[in-house]
């Protein structure tokens, strides 16, 4: 409550400093940050070349965090992500060499190209925030944020993530093409990827953790809001298009993203709009459609469902 104003300013600072490099990507940036501060992971489904990497690097740099990248291919092994022990001749012992997952922000490109075995190793690490290699457990950094990308077009030789795995991502978003003006600007100045590496961080590790804690502890969620969320969940479970509605994990996600959204809006309490703004990124990938309705627009179905639920006020 006390440092509300200050922290809110910080968030604004981050968005401002990054928007220079991410022209026209305000919304994905904001969503990614919400995801980060809600301690979740992000799945971006988009075509190559839309700025996923730029986004990931940008966030890592402004927050003063380390960044690792995994390009998934079908021959990628779990140890390529987690790291492995290598025998050191001089010391005569096995030395652990951590993989890219031991970074704060991990970009996992084209996750659907990796084999299920590798995918599950990654997803497990995301869920448990630790990895176990050769009987030894290694804690992942406290700030740990995975941005995985998926190419929706190329389906050949891919292993699409099963629904149960998708649930581990807090949000599923797409970046989309930049607007006409933004694209023109990009063309004019060229890619700013290089400059991105040299930007000054606006906050440090500790501050980011403090904000995460602040959001978790100090944002008030009224019973009215909880009832509203419950109404949404129950509606997904009773919906005729769906075989499975939202899980309890899904419900928890709605609460924590709504809290962060409220925080981002400079409020220390949640209002229904906080939920309504995010539902299309939080809900659709968590529900399972009946086979005959697979072809429907998932977002539209969820939207029509939400439109029927009255807000508390």
Partner 1 sequence: MIRVNLPSSINIEQGVKAITYTVSLIGFSSISGEIGLSYSLSFLCLFLLSLFFEYKRRFYLPRWVLNGLSLSVIGFTVYRLELSELVVQIIETLLILLGIKLLEEKKFRDYMQIYAINLLLLTGLGLLSLDIIFSVYLLVLVTLLTVATVLLTYYSESPELVIKRDIALKIILKSMYIPMLAIPLTVLMFVILPRTQYPIFSFLNRAEKAKIGFTDNVRLGGVSGIQEDSSAILRVNMDRIDPEHLYWRGVALDHFDGISWKSGTKEPISTTKPIPVKGIRVHQTIYLEPYENIYLFALDKPIYVSLNRARRYTNLTFTSFGFIEKRIRYEAISILSDTIMEERIDEERYLKLPEGLSPKIKDLVGQLIKGKGIEEGIHAIIGFLNSGSYRYSLENLPITKTPIEDFLFKFKYGNCEYFASACAIMLRVAGIPTRLIGGYKGGYYNEVGRYYLVPQKNAHVWVEAYVRGKGWVRVDPTPGSIEAFSSPIKAGYLFRMGLFLDTLNYYWLVSVINYNLEKQLNIIHTLKMNLKIPGIKSLKGMKKGVTYGVMLILGGVVLSILAFFLIRASKNDYVEKSLLTQFLQKMEKKGYKKEKSQGLEEFVLSIGEDKLNDNALLFVKEFEKIFYQDKPFTGEEKKRLKEILKKV
Select 273 or 280, whichever has its Cβ closest to partner 1.
273
Give the Cα separation of 82 and 79 in Å (integer): 5
| Dihedral sign for Cα atoms in the order 267, 268, 272, 275 | positive
Residue 14 CB, nearest approach to partner 1 (Å): 23
Place of tokens 């190419």: 151
Give the Cα separation of 224 and 46 in Å (integer): 36
Select 184 or 308, whichever has its Cβ closest to partner 1.
308
Residue 271 CB, nearest approach to partner 1 (Å): 5
Residue 149 DSSP code: E
- Which residues fall within 8 angstroms of residue 231, CB to CB, at 6 or more apart? 309
Between 248-264 and 272-282, two packed helices, what is the crossing angle to 10 degrees? 120
Residue 215 CB, nearest approach to partner 1 (Å): 16
Select 40 or 272, whichever has its Cβ closest to partner 1.
272
Select 83 or 272, whichever has its Cβ closest to partner 1.
272
Select 207 or 273, whichever has its Cβ closest to partner 1.
273
Q: What is the 3-state secondary structure (H, E, C) of 2-34?
A: CCHHHHHHHHHHHHHHHHCCCCCCHHHHHHHHH
Site for partner 1, rule CB under 8 A: 220, 222-225, 268-273, 276, 306-313
Select 169 or 228, whichever has its Cβ closest to partner 1.
228
Residue 276 CB, nearest approach to partner 1 (Å): 6
> Rg for the chain (alpha carbons), in Å?
20
Select 129 or 308, whichever has its Cβ closest to partner 1.
308
Question: 43 and 169 in contact (C-beta within 8 Å)?
Answer: yes
Report DSSP letters for 288-301, one per residue: EE-GGGTTS-HHHH
Residue 229 CB, nearest approach to partner 1 (Å): 13
Residue 214 CB, nearest approach to partner 1 (Å): 16
Residue 73 CB, nearest approach to partner 1 (Å): 44
Give the Cα separation of 167 and 125 in Å (integer): 14
Residue 241 CB, nearest approach to partner 1 (Å): 18
Closest by CA to 309, choosing from 268, 276, 287, is 276
58: exposed, middle or buried (C-beta count within 10 Å: 0-12, 13-18, 19+)?
buried
Select 45 or 273, whichever has its Cβ closest to partner 1.
273
């Amino acid at each position: 409550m006390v440092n509300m104003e200050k922290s809110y300013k910080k968030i604004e600072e981050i968005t401002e400093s990054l928007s220079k490099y991410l022209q026209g990507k305000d919304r994905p940036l904001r969503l990614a940050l919400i995801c980060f501060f809600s301690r979740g992971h992000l799945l971006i489904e988009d075509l190559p070349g839309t700025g996923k990497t730029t986004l990931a690097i940008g966030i890592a740099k402004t927050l003063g965090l380390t960044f690792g990248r995994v390009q998934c291919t079908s021959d990628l092994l779990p140890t390529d992500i987690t790291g492995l022990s290598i025998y050191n001749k001089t010391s005569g012992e096995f030395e652990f060499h951590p993989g890219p997952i031991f970074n704060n922000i991990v970009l996992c490109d084209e996750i659907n190209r990796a084999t299920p075995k590798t995918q599950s190793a990654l997803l497990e690490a995301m869920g448990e925030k630790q990895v176990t290699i050769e009987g030894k457990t290694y804690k992942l950094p406290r700030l740990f944020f995975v941005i995985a990308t998926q190419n929706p077009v190329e389906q050949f030789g891919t292993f699409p993530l099963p629904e149960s795995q998708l649930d581990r991502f807090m949000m599923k978003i797409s970046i989309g093409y930049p607007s006409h003006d933004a694209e023109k600007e990009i063309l004019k100045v060229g890619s700013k990827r290089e400059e991105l590496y040299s930007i000054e961080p606006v906050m440090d590790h500790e501050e980011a953790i403090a904000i995460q804690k602040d959001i978790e502890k100090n944002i008030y969620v009224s019973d009215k809001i909880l009832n509203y969320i419950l109404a949404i969940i129950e509606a997904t479970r009773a919906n005729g298009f769906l075989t499975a509605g939202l899980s309890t994990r899904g419900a928890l996600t709605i609460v924590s993203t709504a809290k962060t959204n409220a925080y981002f809006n400079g409020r220390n309490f949640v209002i229904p709009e906080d939920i309504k703004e995010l539902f299309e990124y939080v809900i659709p990938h968590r529900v399972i459609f009946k086979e005959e309705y697979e072809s429907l627009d998932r977002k539209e179905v969820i939207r029509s469902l939400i439109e029927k639920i009255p807000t508390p006020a």
